[in-house]
Structure 1
Amino acid sequence: MSAVGMCASVKTGPDAGGMLRVRCEINGSGRECRILELNSRRAFVESFVPAVTGSRVRMNFHLPNGHQVCASGVVTHHQFKVGFGVDFTDMAGSDRDQIESLLGI
C-alpha cells in the first residue's frame, strides 16, 4: 500500500461517484489529469505516463465545493500506466483547511 493509501483521504474515482480534474505542470509541460486520492498532505494522480520520482509538480484544481486549490509538490513514487504520488511542499493554509473540511477533519 502506498503512503497515500495509509492516510485519511478522499476517494475521488468512479467508485466514489466523482472525480477531481487537475492541471499538472511538470518540467515546464502541462497536462490534464485526475486526482484519485487526496488529503491535505498528498495526492495520487492518475496518469498513463506518470512523472518521474523526484520531479517537482504544480497542481491546480477545484474541490467539490468550488474552492480552487493551487499547490506545489514533489513526486514521491510512480506506477507505470497508473499514476504518481505527490507530497505537497507548498500550499496555502486556506487550501489545506478546505481539504480537511471536505475530509471532516
Structure 2
Amino acid sequence: MKKTITFEIDTACLPSWTDEYIAALWYIAQSQPAEHGDHDAGEFAELVGREIIQRWMRGVPVPVWNIQGRDHYHQQLTRFARWNGVEWMPNAVPAAENTPTSL
C-alpha cells in the first residue's frame, strides 16, 4: 500500500506550538523529498531550526543571529547577482570591464 501525506505548515505559528510538535517539524524539514538546494525547503528547515535554537537559548541575553554561516557565501554571491524574489539575476557588468584588453 502506498500513501502520500502532505503537510501544510504556517511558519508564522512556530512560536505557539509545543516543543514536541516543533521536534516533529524538524524531522519533516530534514526528511522532505525536495531536491538539495531547494529554496522553500531550505527556508522551512532554517525557520524550524531557528525556533529550536531560540527556545534552547531562551532567557540568555545575547544576540543570536549577528553572524551566520551563510554570510560569506551571500556576500560573495551578491557581488555577481541579486535575488529578485524568485531567482538570482546577474548584475550588470560595467562597460569598462566588458572590453578586451590589448597586450
Fold match by TM threshold 0.5: no
Name the one with the larger strand percent.
1
Which is bigger in relative contact order (C-alpha 8 A, separation at least 6)? 1
TM (normalized to structure 2)?
0.20
